[in-house]
Amino acid sequence: MNNKIHEKSKQELLHELNELKIKYDAIEQLYHNKIEESRQTERTLQENQANIKAIIENSPESVWSIDLNYNIQYINEVFATSFQQKFGVQLKEGVNILNSLPQHLRSIWKERYDRAFNNEHFVFTDKIEIDNSSVYIEVSMNPIIYDGKVAGASFSEKTLAKEGEQKRLCLKVKHVLKHFTMLRLGELPFMTVVKF
């Protein structure tokens, strides 16, 4: 009789061990599935980052982002090259952009960056003096929101025109508007050719 109890206990023990092995196998499979999901997510993230970087790097616009301490988090080659040409400073990730600007521009740009840090989206046009000439730029500033809070800001800048080009463009627009007005008032025949 003692032997039967012992045998029954062995059978129960084997049954419990078998159930544990089934649970272990299920957990191990789940673990492997999660690892594969994680790897796939990582591959997708890397692919998305590569695509975004390619788009940004192929843009003719300057693109950069900074953290709340004004340190560069991302910078495309167009902006790095443009900044070096304008101010003689080579920018890279981790560099403080305010400290990289000429002293007379720091407070102006700090105020602009701070506006973006205050969750403000805005666009402005600026005139930059370079080697006895001027360049007009348009800058778009946007806060970077993470977990419901501003974590930094991103920027895109495009060159509108050099000062001479800007003046020529304004003269062309004035010329076209003058001829359009004259046309509307009947002072010019409809088929008059307007040269630009």
Q: State pLDDT tens for residues 127-154.
A: 877 777 777 888 999 999 999 999 999 9
CA distance 137 to 141: 13
CA distance 76 to 18: 59
Q: 3-state DSSP call for residue 156? A: strand
Percent of the chain having pLDDT more than 70?
A: 77
The per-residue pLDDT for 89 is 93
The answer to whether position 175 is within a domain reads: no
Distance between alpha carbon 162 and the CA centroid of its chain, in Å? 26
The per-residue pLDDT for 159 is 83
Instruction: Note whether 154 and 89 are same-domain residues.
Output: yes
Count the domains in the chain: 2
pTM: 0.63
The per-residue pLDDT for 7 is 59
Q: Are 64 and 155 in contact (CB under 8 A)?
A: yes
Q: Are 72 and 65 in contact (CB under 8 A)?
A: yes
The answer to whether position 78 is within a domain reads: yes
The answer to whether position 195 is within a domain reads: no
The per-residue pLDDT for 22 is 87
Q: 3-state DSSP call for residue 139? A: strand
Instruction: Note whether 66 and 157 are same-domain residues.
Output: yes
Instruction: Note whether 79 and 9 are same-domain residues.
Output: no
Question: Around Cβ 59, how many Cβ atoms within 10 Å?
Answer: 13
The answer to whether position 38 is within a domain reads: yes
Q: 3-state DSSP call for residue 162? A: strand
Instruction: Note whether 72 and 156 are same-domain residues.
Output: yes
CA distance 71 to 149: 18
| The pair of three-digit structure tokens given for residue 32, joined into one six-digit string | 């492997």
Q: Which residues of the chain have pLDDT under 70?
A: 1-8, 161-176, 178-196
The per-residue pLDDT for 196 is 47
Instruction: Note whether 151 and 69 are same-domain residues.
Output: yes
Q: Are 75 and 91 in contact (CB under 8 A)?
A: yes
Instruction: Note whether 24 and 114 are same-domain residues.
Output: no
Torsion of CA 178, 184, 188, 194, to 10 degrees: 50
The answer to whether position 194 is within a domain reads: no
| The pair of three-digit structure tokens given for residue 181, joined into one six-digit string | 């007005």
Q: Which domain holds residue 45?
A: 1-58
- β partners of residue 129: 134
CA distance 29 to 4: 37
Instruction: Note whether 72 and 142 are same-domain residues.
Output: yes
CA distance 68 to 116: 10
